[in-house]
Amino acid sequence: MLFNSLQYIFFLPIVLFLYWCLPRRFRAVILLIASYVFYSAWNPVYLLLLIGMTIFNYLIGFVLKWAGHTRKWWLIFAILVNVGTLGYYKYAKFVLENIFGVMDFVHLPHDDIVVKIFLPLGISFFTFEFLHYIVDVYKGGEPERNFVHFALLPGFFPSQIAGPIKRYQDFMPQLKEARPFDMDNFEKGFVMVLHGLAKKILLADNLSIYVDFVYKNPSDFTCLELWLATYAFAFQVYCDFSGYTDVAIGSALMMNLCVPPNFNVPYMSNNIRELWHRQHISLSFWFRDYVYIPLGGSRCSVPAIYRNLILTTALAGLWHGAAWHFVAWGAFQGLSLIVHRQWMLFYKSIDWLYEFVKGKIWHAIAIFITFQAFAVSFVFFRADDLPTSFDMVGRMMKLWELWPDQHLKFLTSNGPMIFPMIPYVLAGLVIAHIISEPLRDMQFWPSRPRWMKGAYCAFLIIIMIALMPEEQNKFIYFQF
């Protein structure tokens, strides 16, 4: 069931009606049933996998609490089961393809095996929630005794498929509280749902048309067209995933429940470290807490710190997809973080440069440079393979060819109307990104009168209905 589908438009109000109208003691049960209906709408068979992993991790929580001196081995066993399950569904084909590739390279014979494994929706996200739970119980946290409450940690339908990744210490206490209906939160959640759908339907889905057009055959396009497609993909990812997150947070908020934020105007960051504190926040912090810090974090020698950064970001890239170009994208982020660290050491050693870096002029320049670097990294994320990625980046670096002699294909093709509008859409998104922080800080939207909010919501609904494509596009992060 997609958030941007008619099914969800009918599903959510029914769940909200039952949630608020039936007695409080039934709320958790209602949410769990609704969540399992939501998940089984995709493929009922894989609901058994979700339930099976839920039961296993529920029981292992008590084992870790009572196992005594064998607790460490039970933790290792639980991690292997969770990671092994994720690895089987997500990486079995990738591993076999690489093994066969090596065997072909050294001319070893092997049987051709076709691996057909469907990736269960949301498994990358709820596996990380399970891992977070068992590690924290091992460190001294109390296991959750209420199975329905525990089952809602991975099963809660707003965040079930693509996060945000919840932490049980923050989420489960909310299920135990007798939270009353809150009209302010309900209104805020409703607007967030509309904003999320608008980002997806009006922006991400339209940008994807041009991105797919260029990335299908990138060798046919000029340097300028490749840059436009890469900028378009950067904003497509942002609008698509932050749109999903807005719907998830808004749906939960209408039940007076909070899930963690995942985006904070990331493209206004003035360095790559800050960007990853604003972009996919719940995943970034998960890798920081459960990969980077256990590796030693920043409490070791400089070479070890850089090793930890590369390993953590490369694993984060591999989490996004079972392909080497995702690993390269992650490693690119690690190298960017290393460059940022070196830059900080350099400018802090020169007084006048240190003063300049603290100023507004450098702040604006740094935002521009950070976005360019992050956009270029998306070539590795979106391209089909590594050779294509390197070829595209190489051609994009030929800035002397930025303005071509020939006509631009996206202007002369018989493609959709969005093609010639791409530069204007991107400019509008940049402006919206710039002004969103000041508008948020001045509490612009909450201070508007209710009639204005109603008219705005009605306008969004009408324009989305008018421009909704015949077939709903899946959210990008559904594939992860």
pLDDT digits (tens, 9 = 90+) for 408-418: 666 665 667 77
Q: Say yes or no: 402 and 337 in one domain.
A: yes
| 474 and 343 in a common domain | yes
Out of 149, 178, 207, pick the residue that ends a domain.
178
- Whether residue 378 is contained in a domain is answered as yes
220 and 151 in a single domain? The answer is no
Structural domain contains residue 425: yes
pLDDT value of residue 414: 66
Domain assignment present for 449: yes
Extract the tokens encoding 123. Answer: 């498994």
183 assigned to some structural domain: no
Residue 176 structure tokens:
């135990």
- Total of domains in the chain: 2
Q: Which pLDDT does position 439 carry in this prediction?
A: 75
Same domain flag for 366 and 431: yes
How confident is the model over 82-107, as a mean pLDDT? 83
CA 255: distance to chain centroid?
23
The answer as to whether 204 is a domain residue is yes
**Domain edge (last residue) among 126, 154, 178:** 178
Where does residue 13 rank: exposed (0-12), middle (13-18), buried (19+ CB within 10 A)? exposed
Same domain, 158 and 198: no
What's residue 334's pLDDT? 93
Looking at 118, 147, 178, the residue that finishes a domain is 178
**Lowest mean pLDDT, pick from 9-18, 80-89, 157-166:** 157-166
Same domain, 157 and 223: no
pLDDT of residue 478: 56
* pLDDT at site 298: 85
Both 418 and 370 in one domain: the answer is yes
Residue 97 predicted with pLDDT over 60: yes
In this structure, the number of other CB atoms found within 10 A of the CB of residue 406 comes to: 7
Residue 313 clears pLDDT 60, i.e. is over it = yes
**Residue 275 located in a structural domain:** yes
Q: Over the stretch 162-186, which tens digit does the pLDDT of each residue have?
A: 878 898 888 888 988 878 888 888 9
Q: Are residues 211 and 334 in the same domain?
A: yes
Whether the per-residue pLDDT at 236 is higher than 80: the answer is yes
Residues 6+ apart with CB under 8 A from 242: 196, 199, 262, 263
Verify that 113 and 240 share a domain, yes or no. Answer: no
Alpha-carbon distances of 115 from 101, 175, 203, 242, 320, rounded to whole Å: 15, 41, 35, 33, 20
DSSP code of residue 383: S
Does residue 210 belong to any structural domain of this protein?
yes
SS3 77: helix
Asked if residue 232 and residue 352 are part of one domain, the reply reads yes
User: 250 and 112 in one domain?
Assistant: no
Q: What's the chain's Rg over C-alpha atoms?
A: 24
Domain co-membership, 271 together with 237: yes
Enclosing domain of residue 238: 192-479
Please list the active-site residues: 320
Ranges of H-type helices in 106-146: 123-138
Q: How far apart are CA 407 and CA 225, in angstroms?
A: 11
Residue 187 covered by a domain: no
Cα–Cα distance for residue pair 323/95, rounded to 1 Å: 10
Question: Can you give the pTM of this predicted structure?
Answer: 0.88
Q: Tell me: pLDDT of 82 over 90.
A: yes
b/e 177-194 (16+ beta carbons within 10 angstroms → b): eeeeeeeebbbbbbbbbb
